[in-house]
Structure 1
């Protein structure tokens, strides 16, 4: 037994060193999320973590923001959220406004098209001063990310112009 004691002590010491190191190593899901968010950063998309819409329960999901080209005079602060049920009174099927602020009606056609082009696990569209954001539960991997980023790149400029407040034109005085 005495000849095994040094081997046991060395094995225990190695376990003490490797245990915490293995805890620091990211798991497969964390590595996948880091890859998706790295791709987003390289594409100029800002990622923030926010609470899920109330209808979807508790928890959080990432919001991928495509920045506005010109943030001046935009009508923002509105949010479209996925609802638990599909209803004809909703904005679009299972999507409805998340607060009392709605996007200008001029943007509704582009919003419908954006909703149709997004991955299935998207749960909100948010217009803030950061940009136009899509809350996404980050399932579907690189293929779903490509679909999301292409949709944001295509529809953000169109929606941006549709939600811009029109300045009154001043006529010259006689």
Structure 2
């Protein structure tokens, strides 16, 4: 019996070392999400984690952001969030403005087009100084990513110009004539 004791101790020691290492190994879901986010980065998108809209409960979801080409003088800081139910007072069915901050009216048509192109697991469209982003739960996988990538590449330039603040011409003399 004493000859088995060292073998049992060695097996337990190996199990104690391998167990935590195997526990830290990423799951297949983690590998899939890492692959999606790597594909987004390769496509020129930034990925950030942000809190879900209040209607979606607690937790976070990834925001895939397409940067602005010319970020100067843009009306940013607004967003559209998925709501619990459709209502005619909302911007577009189940989508409504975050914190009551609206995009300029010139962008509304392109935003409606963007919302129609998003996958079902999208939860928000966010406009920040960094770019136009789509928050989604990533459950639709690669097809959802392709839909977001296509929608952002097609409509981000249109939205960017629609939210650009008009240039003021302050180079007039006192009598109203251009200098």
**Fold shared, TM-score > 0.5 on shorter chain:** yes
Residue in 2 aligned with 1:156?
156
Residue in 1 aligned with 2:101?
101
Residue in 2 aligned with 1:16?
16
Report the more deviating stretch, 59-68 or 24-33.
Answer: 24-33
Aligned to 2:64, the other structure's residue is in SS state: strand
Residue in 1 aligned with 2:47?
47
Q: CA RMSD in A?
A: 1.2
* CA offsets 1:72-115 (integer angstroms, 9 cap, x no match): 01000001000001011100000000112100010000000000
- CA–CA separation in structure 1 for the residues paired with 2:129 and 2:49: 16
- CA–CA separation in structure 2 for the residues paired with 1:100 and 1:122: 20
How far apart are 1:61 and its partner, in Å? 0.5
* CA offsets 1:27-78 (integer angstroms, 9 cap, x no match): 1111111101100110110011110111111111111100000000100000
Residue in 2 aligned with 1:92?
92
TM-score by length of 2: 0.93
- CA–CA separation in structure 1 for the residues paired with 2:117 and 2:164: 23
Residue in 2 aligned with 1:66?
66
How far apart are 1:140 and its partner, in Å? 1.3
Residue in 2 aligned with 1:173?
178
- CA–CA separation in structure 2 for the residues paired with 1:173 and 1:123: 48
Aligned to 1:93, the other structure's residue is in SS state: coil
Gaps of 5+ in 2: none
Q: How many equivalent residue pairs?
A: 174
Aligned to 1:20, the other structure's residue is in SS state: helix
- Runs ≥4 residues deviating over 6 A: none
How far apart are 1:10 and its partner, in Å? 1.6
TM-score by length of 1: 0.96
Residue in 2 aligned with 1:6?
6
How far apart are 1:142 and its partner, in Å? 1.2
- CA–CA separation in structure 2 for the residues paired with 1:107 and 1:138: 26
